[in-house]
Structure 1
């Protein structure tokens, strides 16, 4: 199953909703698709959808999905990461009247560059190939978030050992 969420921002995100619906219509996506469409005005014809989904159902959908596609809102893709999934993140963009500015675009690029834990897709036309090659893309990504715990613990142990010797 593919789960798509566009959050609850009051501007429509028709560009993403319609594109995924068309991929389903054309048979590019053969598995079930569930969408949370928010305030989008496009109503999917080939996918299951709801405007808003309760939190517990969101968590359930994310946990059960093979692929999660989110907008660039941090809460949506961080929840996906916490559940152990690698999200495809399609940031809302000002040029399409999907948000008031391009902060989602900037944030998604920064997270992808620094953490390497999300798959950002800026142009919806690129989404088809990312969905088709999702498993291979994820397999080539770093596993999980990088932690400094080992470096910190090793440094602390070295410091304590030096203090004890003195």
Structure 2
């Protein structure tokens, strides 16, 4: 399953919603698709959709999805990262009247460059290829946010061993 979320910003994100619907219609996407359309005015014909989805259902959709596609709002792509997913991030762009400026474009570029944990898509025409090659793309990159638990436990173990030796 592919889960798409455009967040709750009041400007429509028809460009993403319609592109995903077209990819499903044309058979590029074979699996089920659920789209949270927000304030988009385009109504998908080939995908399941809801304008808004309760948070717990959003979490479940992200957990169940093979691929998560989000807009460039930080909350929308940080949650999939925390669940261990590598999201495809399509930032809203000012030139398409999707946001008041291009801060989502800049933020997605910076996260991709510094963290390497998201797949940014500025050119919507490349989305189909990225979806088709998703598994190969993520094979060579970080998968979600790294947990510090292992490092913490190793360092704690080292401290405990030093304390044991000194007694």
Query: For the superposition of Structure 1 and Structure 2, which TM-score range results when normalised by the shorter chain?
Result: 0.7 to 0.9
Task: Give me the TM-score of the superposition, normalised by structure 1.
Answer: 0.88
Asked whether the equivalents of residues 115 and 146 of structure 1 are also in contact (C-alpha less than 8 Å), the reply is no
Map of 2:99 onto structure 1? 99
Q: Distance in 1 between matches of 2:37 and 2:129?
A: 22
Unaligned stretches of 5+ in structure 2?
A: 163-167
Q: Distance in 2 between matches of 1:143 and 1:86?
A: 6
Map of 1:15 onto structure 2? 15
Query: C-alpha offsets along residues 75-132 of structure 1, whole Å, 9 cap, x if unaligned?
Result: 0100010111000000000000000000000000000000000000001101011000
Residue aligned with 2:125, SS: helix
Residue aligned with 1:34, SS: strand
Residue aligned with 1:68, SS: strand
Asked whether the equivalents of residues 6 and 13 of structure 2 are also in contact (C-alpha less than 8 Å), the reply is yes
Map of 1:40 onto structure 2? 40
- 1:70-149 maps to which residues of 2 (within 5 A)? 70-145=70-145
Q: Distance in 2 between matches of 1:21 and 1:57?
A: 21
Query: C-alpha offsets along residues 34-86 of structure 1, whole Å, 9 cap, x if unaligned?
Result: 00000000000000000000001000000000000000000010001011100
Query: C-alpha offsets along residues 8-50 of structure 1, whole Å, 9 cap, x if unaligned?
Result: 0000000000000000000111100000000000000000000
Unaligned stretches of 5+ in structure 1?
A: 161-166
Number of matched pairs: 157
Q: CA RMSD in A?
A: 2.0
Asked whether the equivalents of residues 23 and 29 of structure 1 are also in contact (C-alpha less than 8 Å), the reply is yes
Q: Distance in 2 between matches of 1:133 and 1:49?
A: 24
Task: Give me the TM-score of the superposition, normalised by structure 2.
Answer: 0.87
Asked whether the equivalents of residues 89 and 121 of structure 1 are also in contact (C-alpha less than 8 Å), the reply is yes
